[in-house]
Chain A
Amino acid sequence: MNKTVSALSLFAILLFAAGCSKHDPVIRIGVSAPFTGDQASVGLTILRGTQLAVDQANAQGDVLPGYKIELVQIDDSHSPTQAVAAAKKFVSDPEVIGVVGHLNSSCTKPAAQIYHNARVAQITPASTNPEISKQGFDTFFRVCATDDLQGPKAAQFAFNELGARKVFIIDDKTTYGKGLSDEFAKAFIAQGGQVLGHQGITQGDKDFTPLLTKIRPMSPDLIFFGGLYPECSLIIKQARDLNIKAPVMGGDGIYDVTLIRLATPSASEGTYATMIGADVKALPQAQEFVKAYETKFGDVGSYSAYSYDAANILIQAIKLAGAPDREKVIQILKDGRTFPGILGQTEFDDRGDTKNKIVSVFRVRNGQWEHVRTV
């Protein structure tokens, strides 16, 4: 009896599955970033920005006659292996026309190869390592500034505005962290500043007191960190516990509200971060987005505006292509036209990088990130 029941239900499931495959025509957009783990709070801003763009596009009617857009999300847990696996999964689904991803440069770089081989357009909202666009993949696009701009801008700001002359540099040994801090170091030395030392730490580590203890007697004017906020918040807190007064500065990877919560507001006071675009909350054309995002998800966070623009650019390209055709979408993104968005007019250069490159500086003040100015 039992066997018959299970055989019958298996049959029913198979029937159901067969029915499912004949669904309405859809166009899929993939999105991948770390949605779990210690970087989840930043990764989720990428997911939500993309989600908002897709929802709004669908609410306005069919993107192409008869087609709705569907978002496919895969968590890459900031692991390059997972990112490559995600990319393979996306490209094996013929309905996926383009991908928004990833967050970490170390993930974006190897995944770009997969997208290129399969001829799928990839737009990264957040990976800033300049090497990624030098791999010669015409499927790669980027809506944010790069570290060869961010690093020097940060160095100029530290030298001229903060009056720093001696810095100690720490990075997390990733493509992003190491790349950014190398650019920073180069520019800082060129300005006439002194780099007291440059050491790596490991992502996921929690105890940085041995390194900070070593740094303390060198009394740097500034500690520059190339990496992301989970480690940076601990570095800030442990530096203050060791009575190190030097401010900490970092790149876009540390620009997140979670940093202030984890490092405690009092310890993080006076921390600086450069960001790879304008202050979204102050852009007139972004106000509608900020409002829609805040009612749905809360604070706009780090990369929601970038992923929102990235997704919208993909959607515009699909509309212009007039068909769910991967190659046509790539050609449209490539041919030098401008795409209006909330970050401004995005136009890709021949490497796929946006020409709209802005770096702004933020500072923690009274427990909040505050826009200092655009540099």
Chain B
Amino acid sequence: MELFVQQLINGLTIGTIYALIALGYTMVYGIIQLINFAHGEVFMVGAYIGLTAITFFGFVSGSTLPMAMLYLAVMLLISMAGSGLLGIVIDQIAYRPIRNSPRLVALISAIGVSFVLQNAVMLIYGPQDQGVPQIVPDIHFIFGDVTITLMQIMILAVSLVLMVFLNFLVQHTQLGRAMRATSQDHKMARLVGINVNWIISLTFFIGSAMAAVGGVLFGLYYHTVNFHDGYLAGLKAFTAAVLGGIGNIPGAMVGGVLIGLAEGLGAGYISSEWKNVFAFVILVLILLFKPTGLFGERVADRA
């Protein structure tokens, strides 16, 4: 039983990171029906910006808890701002000019952006793994046979707060209503006075900022980042978004956590050799039997 709880914690930790990335996929899809395949790279860039912030401010390992919280907050804010802007720039350069072209065109453009970002990061930071200093104190909480680290608690707490905030933003504010209206019909939204282009930019900003949070937490959790990291994490988050029903925000959150749990439990109880397979088996099953995902009501191919 303790073992099971431990595996749940493991799966939950990585699952919330997938969920944060999945939000960007789902939000962008919801608003312009584009699978933004460069999104995994935005996540990776977010991790690198966080690392740069640590180096720039000279944050040191093994600091006290309040200092660690401050460092983390600074890293997150800088990374969110940087990646958010990157998201807007990507949209302006790679997607807006071809907004009315067939969807496949934008998809190819997205893959191109993904290559550019990967290689740009490789050229700037070098091809080696970059070590991320441990700024969150190395504290373990041990309950019988269950161990949870302070870092894991931080990951869960930060993700939870952000997801609640995002849900509130989308469901209960004027801005959120404008976003939902835009996702339903661009022309009608424009008729009622919504600046559609601005809303699209905002969506890219928020989605990318969420991925950046995932990136920073990912770097701090595993202590290393690599320019390849966005690829696999991005694919799994995409799977999470499809699982939850692409275009559905709470769906992406639940999907991410489920993918993390499936991976954790699958690797723990079946075989760690097949760890990466579990997520994609789920993707295939979902596409075969419930293409709209768990919470998706939207028809995937609307006019």
Contact = CB atoms under 8 A, between A and B. Distances in A.
Interface string B130-153: 010010001010100101010100
Interface of B is mostly: helix
Contacts of B149: 241
A200 B127 contact: no
Contacts of A234: 222-224
B271 interface: yes
Interface string A196-209: 00011110111111
B173 interface: no
A217 B145 contact: yes
Interface stretch (A257-265, A321-329, A331-339): A257-265
Nearest to A242: B147
A41 B122 CA distance: 15
A38 B226 contact: yes
A40 interface: yes
A65 B122 CA distance: 42
Contacts, number: 105
Given A205-B276, A207-B14, A210-B268, A242 B224 contact: no
B230 to A, nearest CB: 12
A213 interface: yes
Contacts of B6: 213, 216, 242
B159 interface: no
A237 B151 CA distance: 13
A172 to B, nearest CB: 10
A206 B219 CA distance: 11
Interface string B214-253: 0000000011101011001000000000000000000000
B129 interface: yes
Contacts of A214: 3, 268-269, 272
A357 interface: no
Contact of B271 (A35, A199, A207, A233): A199
A202 B263 CA distance: 13
B131 A262 contact: yes
A77 to B, nearest CB: 9
Contacts of B7: 210, 213
A59 B232 CA distance: 47
Interface string B89-117: 00000000000000000000000000000
A263 B128 CA distance: 15
Interface string B1-29: 00100110011011000000000000000
B163 interface: no
A157 B133 CA distance: 33
B12 to A, nearest CB: 11
Contact of A36 (B11, B122, B222): B122
Interface in B130-184: 131, 134, 138, 140, 142, 145, 147, 149, 151
A211 B274 CA distance: 11
Interface in B42-101: 61
B264 A209 contact: yes
A40 B127 contact: yes
A136 interface: no
Nearest to A211: B272
B32 interface: no
Given A201-B272, A207-B222, A262-B223, A41 B147 contact: no
10 contacts: A36-B122, A41-B128, A199-B273, A205-B276, A210-B7, A217-B145, A233-B224, A234-B223, A258-B129, A258-B131
Nearest to A267: B138
Given A173-B273, A201-B273, A237 B268 contact: no
Nearest to A200: B273
